[in-house]
Amino acid sequence: MRIATWNVNSLKARMERVLSWLERAAPDILLLQETKLTDDDAPHAEFARAGYELAHHGEGRWNGVAIASRTKLVKVETNFGDPLRHSKTDETGDDEPLAEARMIAATTKGVRIVSIYAPNGRVVGSPFYEAKLQWYARLDRWLAQQDLKGALAIGGDFNVAPADADVWDAKEAHGGTHVSPRERKALAAVVKRGLVDSYRLQHDEPGRFTWWDYRGGDFHRNVGMRIDLLLVTQSLAKRVVAGEIDREARKGKPTPSDHAPLVIDVDAPGRPFDAGWAGADARIAARRAKAD
């Protein structure tokens, strides 16, 4: 079973790329974030033609999460099982995360699958930052009610880099969101429920990121962060045989998402693909040496 997660930064804008990537990487399950669609506008037919059932939880302009699966999805749950709260500030995104479409879960082939899109937080100490921490507390409470002895995978854009190795330059990033102590503590509390960072089971090297800003040539200089994760229960971790970040999906035209897909294989390797890191390492080192 191949499980992947990808913040597509607008499913409508990236649909061509997503369908192409489904053919290239052949995931059995794809978790999506930032679909930016209502449920009525979700592309169920397009995914069905590609061989996938789609479960979608969206609100329109912002946010939105989904699960695409080759096998039937059952026990679909959104927003931690609660109805979305009424938004008091419709003109602003990510200040009321429990009024925003940020979580969907479903079960397929005996695995509970969860797609999440954590709030950004914007500025440390701001109301957006405090709302982010409140959302993490809600996620932690929900996990406390789940069967974490069974097979569960929670993936998505966590908007937190777990450690300094997950940031291009810890000193330069210091003081900003995604790396602050309170955010990392909130993520660590979730992991301590009994979850494992599945990518780190396969890779311990620094400099492997899932997100790069569009500006300043950050992608080509590898100025990024690893903020997209697939956390799995201990029982599922024992079955993980491979993991990769598909850097190639962040390149080319039409304009890609600013995130790259993260993939893990469970029980057996999936379809081979070149993630592009081997060729990129030398180019990145040369660019940085020239800049220095």
How much is the average pLDDT of 257-266? Answer: 98
DSSP for 250-278?
A: GSSSSPPPSB--EEEEESS-------SHH
How much is the average pLDDT of 217-241? Answer: 97
3-class DSSP state of 56: strand
Which CATH number belongs to the domain containing residue 224 in this structure?
Answer: 3.60.10.10
**Band (63; pLDDT cuts 50, 70, 90):** very high
Distances in whole angstroms, Cα of residue 281 to Cα of each of 173, 246, 291: 21, 14, 16
Q: For the segment 198-219, what is each residue's pLDDT rounded down to a tens digit?
A: 999 999 999 999 999 999 999 9
Among 58-67, 82-91, 112-121, the least confident range: 82-91
How much is the average pLDDT of 186-199? Answer: 98
The number of distinct structural domains making up the chain is 1
**Phi, psi torsion values for 271, nearest 5 degrees:** -60, 130
Q: For the segment 106-128, what is each residue's pLDDT rounded down to a tens digit?
A: 999 999 999 999 999 999 999 99
Supply the mean pLDDT for the chain: 95
Is the pLDDT score of 183 beyond 70? yes
Quote the tokens at residue 263: 């993939």
Residue 60: domain span: 2-291
The H or E element that residue 264 is part of is strand 262-266
Query: Which pTM does this prediction carry?
Result: 0.96
Residue 232: strand pairing partners: 153, 196
pLDDT at 92: 57
Closest CA to 90 of 116, 119, 117, 60: 60
pLDDT at 47: 98
Contact between residue 178 and residue 121 where contact means Cβ atoms under 8 Å apart: yes
